[in-house]
Protein backbone atom coordinates (compact mmCIF):
# COMPACT_ATOMS: atom_id res chain seq x y z
CA UNK A 1 0.00 0.00 0.00
CA UNK A 2 1.30 3.43 -0.89
CA UNK A 3 2.33 5.53 2.07
CA UNK A 4 0.53 8.84 1.98
CA UNK A 5 2.86 11.65 2.91
CA UNK A 6 1.62 13.77 5.79
CA UNK A 7 2.19 17.48 6.28
CA UNK A 8 2.50 18.57 2.69
CA UNK A 9 3.80 22.13 2.45
CA UNK A 10 2.52 24.99 0.34
CA UNK A 11 3.10 28.58 -0.78
CA UNK A 12 0.76 31.54 -0.11
CA UNK A 13 1.30 34.90 -1.83
CA UNK A 14 -0.22 38.19 -0.65
CA UNK A 15 0.25 40.88 -3.32
CA UNK A 16 -1.01 44.32 -4.26
CA UNK A 17 0.16 47.96 -4.36
CA UNK A 18 1.66 49.96 -1.50
CA UNK A 19 -0.71 50.68 1.41
CA UNK A 20 -2.96 47.75 0.51
CA UNK A 21 -2.43 45.89 3.78
CA UNK A 22 0.01 43.21 2.60
CA UNK A 23 2.18 43.47 5.72
CA UNK A 24 -0.91 43.71 7.93
CA UNK A 25 -2.27 40.49 6.41
CA UNK A 26 1.12 38.75 6.63
CA UNK A 27 1.38 39.63 10.33
CA UNK A 28 -2.20 38.46 10.94
CA UNK A 29 -1.45 35.03 9.44
CA UNK A 30 1.86 34.63 11.25
CA UNK A 31 0.48 35.65 14.65
CA UNK A 32 -2.29 33.06 14.26
CA UNK A 33 0.33 30.40 13.55
CA UNK A 34 2.21 31.48 16.69
CA UNK A 35 -0.98 31.16 18.74
CA UNK A 36 -1.22 27.59 17.44
CA UNK A 37 2.30 26.99 18.88
CA UNK A 38 3.89 26.66 15.47
CA UNK A 39 7.49 27.83 15.06
CA UNK A 40 7.45 30.90 12.84
CA UNK A 41 10.47 32.47 11.10
CA UNK A 42 10.09 35.86 9.42
CA UNK A 43 12.43 37.51 6.96
CA UNK A 44 12.79 40.74 5.07
CA UNK A 45 15.41 41.97 2.60
CA UNK A 46 18.03 44.47 3.62
CA UNK A 47 16.62 47.11 1.25
CA UNK A 48 13.61 47.77 3.43
CA UNK A 49 14.75 49.52 6.59
CA UNK A 50 11.95 52.06 6.74
CA UNK A 51 10.82 51.60 10.31
CA UNK A 52 12.72 49.08 12.35
CA UNK A 53 15.73 46.88 11.93
CA UNK A 54 14.50 43.65 13.36
CA UNK A 55 10.75 43.92 12.95
CA UNK A 56 8.44 44.00 10.01
CA UNK A 57 6.06 46.89 10.56
CA UNK A 58 2.81 47.72 8.75
CA UNK A 59 1.70 51.25 7.94
CA UNK A 60 -0.71 51.06 10.86
CA UNK A 61 2.24 50.23 13.13
CA UNK A 62 1.59 46.54 13.83
CA UNK A 63 4.86 44.66 14.06
CA UNK A 64 6.46 41.25 14.44
CA UNK A 65 10.07 40.21 14.99
CA UNK A 66 11.99 39.42 11.82
CA UNK A 67 15.45 38.66 10.48
CA UNK A 68 17.05 40.92 7.85
CA UNK A 69 18.81 39.09 5.03
CA UNK A 70 21.18 40.12 2.27
CA UNK A 71 20.19 37.17 0.13
CA UNK A 72 17.21 34.82 0.00
CA UNK A 73 19.56 31.83 0.10
CA UNK A 74 20.32 32.69 3.77
CA UNK A 75 16.79 31.43 4.56
CA UNK A 76 18.14 27.89 4.06
CA UNK A 77 20.02 28.15 7.36
CA UNK A 78 16.66 28.31 9.15
CA UNK A 79 15.19 25.26 7.38
CA UNK A 80 15.05 23.08 10.49
CA UNK A 81 14.13 25.88 12.86
CA UNK A 82 10.53 26.64 11.81
CA UNK A 83 7.26 25.23 10.47
CA UNK A 84 6.00 28.48 8.97
CA UNK A 85 8.15 30.91 6.95
CA UNK A 86 7.04 34.51 6.41
CA UNK A 87 8.72 36.78 3.88
CA UNK A 88 7.88 40.48 3.54
CA UNK A 89 8.83 42.87 0.72
CA UNK A 90 9.63 39.81 -1.37
CA UNK A 91 9.96 41.93 -4.54
CA UNK A 92 13.35 43.16 -3.29
CA UNK A 93 14.86 39.67 -3.13
CA UNK A 94 16.54 38.17 -6.18
CA UNK A 95 15.17 35.34 -8.32
CA UNK A 96 16.85 32.82 -5.98
CA UNK A 97 13.87 33.40 -3.66
CA UNK A 98 11.78 31.29 -6.07
CA UNK A 99 13.83 28.14 -5.55
CA UNK A 100 14.23 28.74 -1.81
CA UNK A 101 10.43 29.00 -1.32
CA UNK A 102 9.67 25.97 -3.48
CA UNK A 103 12.31 23.90 -1.64
CA UNK A 104 10.72 24.84 1.71
CA UNK A 105 7.23 23.92 0.49
CA UNK A 106 8.59 20.66 -0.91
CA UNK A 107 9.90 19.60 2.50
CA UNK A 108 6.53 20.31 4.14
CA UNK A 109 6.81 23.95 5.21
CA UNK A 110 4.11 26.62 4.97
CA UNK A 111 5.56 29.66 3.15
CA UNK A 112 3.72 32.99 3.31
CA UNK A 113 5.08 35.67 0.97
CA UNK A 114 4.04 39.34 0.84
CA UNK A 115 5.22 41.71 -1.86
CA UNK A 116 4.43 44.29 -4.50
CA UNK A 117 3.18 42.71 -7.70
CA UNK A 118 3.79 45.90 -9.74
CA UNK A 119 6.67 48.35 -9.64
CA UNK A 120 6.12 52.11 -10.04
CA UNK A 121 5.88 51.68 -13.82
CA UNK A 122 3.24 48.93 -13.38
CA UNK A 123 5.67 46.22 -14.57
CA UNK A 124 6.03 42.95 -12.65
CA UNK A 125 8.38 43.29 -9.70
CA UNK A 126 11.28 40.85 -9.08
CA UNK A 127 10.55 37.20 -8.21
CA UNK A 128 6.84 37.79 -7.44
CA UNK A 129 5.57 36.86 -10.90
CA UNK A 130 6.94 33.32 -10.79
CA UNK A 131 5.90 32.92 -7.15
CA UNK A 132 2.30 33.78 -8.14
CA UNK A 133 2.48 30.87 -10.56
CA UNK A 134 4.06 28.49 -8.05
CA UNK A 135 1.71 29.39 -5.17
CA UNK A 136 -1.17 27.22 -3.99
CA UNK A 137 -2.97 30.29 -2.60
CA UNK A 138 -2.94 33.86 -3.93
CA UNK A 139 -4.52 36.84 -2.21
CA UNK A 140 -4.60 40.14 -4.06
CA UNK A 141 -5.32 43.09 -1.80
CA UNK A 142 -6.29 46.64 -2.80
CA UNK A 143 -5.69 50.06 -1.30
CA UNK A 144 -7.87 53.17 -1.62
CA UNK A 145 -7.09 55.52 -4.53
CA UNK A 146 -5.79 58.80 -3.12
CA UNK A 147 -7.36 60.74 -5.99
CA UNK A 148 -10.89 59.35 -6.32
CA UNK A 149 -11.44 56.80 -3.56
CA UNK A 150 -11.88 53.79 -5.85
CA UNK A 151 -10.07 50.49 -5.30
CA UNK A 152 -6.38 51.02 -5.99
CA UNK A 153 -4.11 48.34 -7.41
CA UNK A 154 -1.34 50.63 -8.73
CA UNK A 155 1.47 52.43 -6.92
CA UNK A 156 2.07 55.97 -8.21
CA UNK A 157 5.50 57.44 -7.56
CA UNK A 158 4.97 61.12 -6.80
CA UNK A 159 8.66 61.94 -6.46
CA UNK A 160 10.78 62.40 -9.59
CA UNK A 161 13.41 59.68 -8.99
CA UNK A 162 13.83 57.17 -11.81
CA UNK A 163 15.58 54.22 -10.09
CA UNK A 164 13.56 51.01 -9.76
CA UNK A 165 14.11 50.82 -6.02
CA UNK A 166 13.46 54.05 -4.15
CA UNK A 167 12.43 53.32 -0.58
CA UNK A 168 9.82 55.76 0.67
CA UNK A 169 6.41 56.26 2.16
CA UNK A 170 3.51 58.64 1.57
CA UNK A 171 6.15 61.29 0.78
CA UNK A 172 7.05 59.38 -2.41
CA UNK A 173 4.18 57.07 -3.27
CA UNK A 174 0.39 57.04 -3.55
CA UNK A 175 -2.06 54.22 -4.09
CA UNK A 176 -4.01 54.86 -7.33
CA UNK A 177 -6.77 53.15 -9.30
CA UNK A 178 -6.34 52.29 -13.00
CA UNK A 179 -8.01 55.53 -14.10
CA UNK A 180 -5.94 57.85 -11.90
CA UNK A 181 -2.59 56.06 -12.38
CA UNK A 182 -0.28 57.68 -14.91
CA UNK A 183 3.03 56.31 -16.12
P1 LIG B 1 1.43 47.31 2.59
O2 LIG B 1 2.31 46.32 3.29
O3 LIG B 1 0.57 46.70 1.52
O4 LIG B 1 2.17 48.51 2.09
P5 LIG B 1 0.48 47.86 5.22
O6 LIG B 1 -0.08 46.57 5.75
O7 LIG B 1 1.83 48.25 5.71
O8 LIG B 1 0.39 47.86 3.63
O9 LIG B 1 -0.47 49.07 5.59
C10 LIG B 1 -1.85 49.12 5.32
C11 LIG B 1 -2.39 50.34 6.10
O12 LIG B 1 -1.94 51.52 5.43
C13 LIG B 1 -3.89 50.52 6.12
O14 LIG B 1 -4.50 49.77 7.15
C15 LIG B 1 -4.03 52.00 6.42
O16 LIG B 1 -3.91 52.25 7.81
C17 LIG B 1 -2.78 52.60 5.77
N18 LIG B 1 -2.99 53.36 4.53
C19 LIG B 1 -2.26 54.45 4.15
N20 LIG B 1 -2.66 54.91 2.92
C21 LIG B 1 -3.64 54.09 2.48
C22 LIG B 1 -4.44 54.03 1.28
N23 LIG B 1 -4.30 54.89 0.28
N24 LIG B 1 -5.35 53.03 1.17
C25 LIG B 1 -5.51 52.12 2.18
N26 LIG B 1 -4.80 52.14 3.33
C27 LIG B 1 -3.86 53.11 3.50
MG1 LIG C 1 4.35 46.21 3.54
ZN1 LIG D 1 -8.76 56.83 -8.76
What digits encode the pLDDT tens for the residues 87-134? Answer: 999 999 999 999 999 999 999 999 999 999 999 999 999 999 999 999
Give the DSSP letter of residue 75. G
Pocket test for ligand 1, best of 59, 89, 153, 167 (most atoms within 8 A of CB): 59
Ligand number with the minimum distance to the CA of 180: 3
Q: How far apart are CA 158 and CA 137, in angstroms?
A: 32
Contact (Cβ atoms closer than 8 angstroms) between residue 87 and residue 22: no
Residue 60 pLDDT = 85
Q: Which CATH superfamily does the domain covering 10-141 fall into?
A: P-loop containing nucleotide triphosphate hydrolases (3.40.50.300)
* pLDDT in the model for residue 1: 54
Q: pLDDT tens, 4-21?
A: 555 799 999 999 999 999
What integer pLDDT is reported at residue 48 of this predicted model? Answer: 60
Question: Ligand 1 within 6 A of 180 CB?
Answer: no
Listed in sequence order, the residues at least 6 apart from 35 whose beta carbon sits closer than 8 Å to its beta carbon are none
Nearest to 87 by CA among 98, 182, 145: 98
Handedness of CA 124, 75, 112, 105 (dihedral sign): positive
Structural domain spans, the chain: 10-141
Does any ligand 1 atom lie closer than 6 A to the CB of residue 18?
A: yes
d(CA 121, CA 3): 49
Amino acid sequence: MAIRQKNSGWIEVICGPMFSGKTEELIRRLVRAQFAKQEVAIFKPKTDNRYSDDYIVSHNKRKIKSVILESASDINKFKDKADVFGIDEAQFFGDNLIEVCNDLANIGKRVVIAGLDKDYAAKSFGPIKQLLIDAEYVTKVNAICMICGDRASFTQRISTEKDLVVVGETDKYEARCRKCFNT
